[in-house]
Structure 1
Amino acid sequence: MPEEMTRFIDWYNDTNPLSRDKNLPGIARVGIAQLWFEVIHPFHDVNGRVGRAIADHALSQSLGYPTTACLATALEGDNKSYYLQREKASRGSLDVNIWFDYFADRVIKTQEIAREEVDFVMAKSGFYEVYGDQLTDRQARMVSRVFAEGRKGFEGGITTRRYEPITKCPNRTASRDLSDRVAKVTIIPLRGGGRTTRYELALVEPAGLGLEKR
């Protein structure tokens, strides 16, 4: 184990694109580093977390600056395929070409996640910039709860039934609060959803940041 880790660390340092060998493509180095460390599996626990941190570090080195993307998030979101592909690459002929195909796809997904995170933060900033002063304490609690879900959103939308326990108010007050926000275009009804009216926040661009329209 110590010998394998020494070989791995020496290789990692020798292939650092910021100071030495620039012939190894960045994405290949990231994929090899991730796989090699995980195959060595030097710890009783946390190998996955350390391996993903190494991959993020290697990706930052290949870019020449700290990446805003999080490769760990993309890998954790695809655990079943990740472990399957890692297992295939670490057995038999040790051919890593299929692993590279899979890993490159995860890196692309990482960039998509990073973009979604940036869009979410900007949209949240824009919402509070435009509507923050208009919210009552109850409404502010509901909005905070929605944003706490992050880029994936508040599953199922906002309803009076969900508004009540979050803001600790009766159904009539919840209905009145939501109607008030609809009238002021702070929330908008979702299409479909059955008999229960569901809403989502009316997100806006923060001034001067210019979110890309999609």
Structure 2
Amino acid sequence: MVWNWQQEGWPEFTWEQRKLVRAEALFIENAGVLIGVSRHLDADDQYALRIELMSHEAVDTSAIEGEPLDRDSVQSSIRRHLGLAGDRRRASPAEAGIAEMMVDLYEQAATPLTEEVVFRWHRWITNGRTDLVDIGRYRTHADPMQIVSGALHAPKVHFEAPPSSDLPTQMQRFWHWLERTAPGGSTPLPAVTRAGIAHLWFESIHPFEDGNGRVGRALSEKILAQGLANPVVTGMASTLLQHRKAYYAELERAHRDLEITAWLLWFAAKTLEAQQRTLRQVEFVLDKARLMGRLRGALNERQEKALIRLFAAGPEGFKGGLSAANYMTITGATSATTTRDLAALVDTGALTRTGTNKATRYHLNIAIMPLSSLGEHDIA
């Protein structure tokens, strides 16, 4: 197999920009809608939303790599990095490290993307690792950098990156291209196109001993934000996690050619889908503020606690809905009190009820914006 970096002309990718014109326009339009809707949130809700988005991205970008993290621990760590009061939940080194990277990504979205920024991210996401030689710097080992799967005796090689000895030259080209194609550069590229190329290029070089996926996704996030007049983090990791198998398959396919129109169309579709998810989260927080404002003074402590827990589950809510047993666990209420509390929440319009008897479930009375999984044919 001849990989893209081994082909004549590397790293001069080619693509059909005309096929991406609509996606680029939709990206700018969606970002404007997102900013506009966010302005309806008060300062506290805006800050809470940012923390929520950061924690989701941190957990989901790690989950793509098969590393499960505790969302509450990550969120607690993010709050500490922001100087906010919170619980004293103990975070693992991995949770604390990815939290710190997300805070840097979100808080410094508009600042230049440099080699030192990427090195800093790598140090954070490898926090606590003792099995790596090269942390916060490019890999130096002589062994081939391969992405493999399958049994040890018969591994399948999905990709092999350039040797470590080539990295200084490879990365120098990459950083020069990023500078040249930036919004204020000599040959600027549209945001989605630039982010898609950068992500593929970075993953093709695979410059670190480990953590290339997480750093590469953060890199594309920052590039997308820099392509907007008012930088907004898109929230790609959660969407890519939903399409994890396809994500890996598309990267593997793109590693074999320098003509990357198909990859860019796929990446653009997932970028627009990610914007949908983020907008959905913003509207959910806005609806939460409206509902809680309307019910102010009408809820007892148990009811308020249960609603807050439901909202914490996000737009998807409790899987299958809230049951009476869930309510009793959350609030500590007796069965009789639970029945009265839930009936009152339905009467006030806070919850809707479905099912009967033991199958009765309760849901937040909020219209959740449906998500559509976009494909290349939807945007070309």
- The TM tier, using the shorter chain, reads 0.7 to 0.9
Shift of 1:60: 1.7
Question: Which has a greater percent of helix?
Answer: 1
**Cα distance change on mapping 1:45 and 1:202 into 2, 3 Å:** same
Partner residue, 1:15:
181
Q: Secondary structure at the match of 2:182?
A: coil
**Cα distance change on mapping 1:39 and 1:193 into 2, 3 Å:** farther
- Structure 1 residue 199 and structure 2 residue 362: aligned? yes
The question of whether the paired residues in 2 share the 8 Å contact of 1:18 and 1:61 is answered with no
Shift of 1:195: 5.4
- Structure 1 residue 25 and structure 2 residue 25: aligned? no
**1:4-37 deviation digits (Å, cap 9, x = unpaired):** 1111111111110234323x33322111001111
**Cα distance change on mapping 1:193 and 1:102 into 2, 3 Å:** farther
- Structure 1 residue 82 and structure 2 residue 247: aligned? yes
Partner residue, 1:207:
none
Matched residue count? 202
The question of whether the paired residues in 1 share the 8 Å contact of 2:225 and 2:234 is answered with no
What does 1:13-92 align with in structure 2 at a 5 Å threshold? 13-22=179-188, 24-91=189-256
Shift of 1:149: 0.9
What does 1:182-197 align with in structure 2 at a 5 Å threshold? 182-190=346-354, 192=355, 196-197=359-360
Shift of 1:68: 4.2
1:8 partner letter: F
In the superposition, the TM-score normalised over structure 2's length comes to: 0.50
Partner residue, 2:277:
113
Partner residue, 1:159:
323
The question of whether the paired residues in 1 share the 8 Å contact of 2:225 and 2:232 is answered with yes
Give, in whole Å, the separation in 2 of the partners of 1:176 and 1:99: 55
For structure 2, the 5+ residue unaligned runs are: 1-166, 370-380
**1:101-140 deviation digits (Å, cap 9, x = unpaired):** 2111111101211210111110111111111322211111
Partner residue, 2:335:
171
The question of whether the paired residues in 1 share the 8 Å contact of 2:221 and 2:233 is answered with no
**1:71-107 deviation digits (Å, cap 9, x = unpaired):** 222222211111110011002x333121112111111
2:295 partner letter: Y
Higher normalized contact order (CA 8 Å, seq sep 6+, divided by chain length)? 2
For structure 1, the 5+ residue unaligned runs are: 205-210
Q: Secondary structure at the match of 2:319?
A: coil
1:138 to 271, 290, 302: 302
Partner residue, 1:99:
263
Q: Please say which of residues 129-138 and 97-106 is displaced more in the overlay.
A: 129-138
Shift of 1:143: 0.8
**Cα distance change on mapping 1:16 and 1:159 into 2, 3 Å:** same
**1:139-158 deviation digits (Å, cap 9, x = unpaired):** 11211110111122222112
In the superposition, the TM-score normalised over structure 1's length comes to: 0.86
**1:33-75 deviation digits (Å, cap 9, x = unpaired):** 0111111111122211211111111112222331242122222
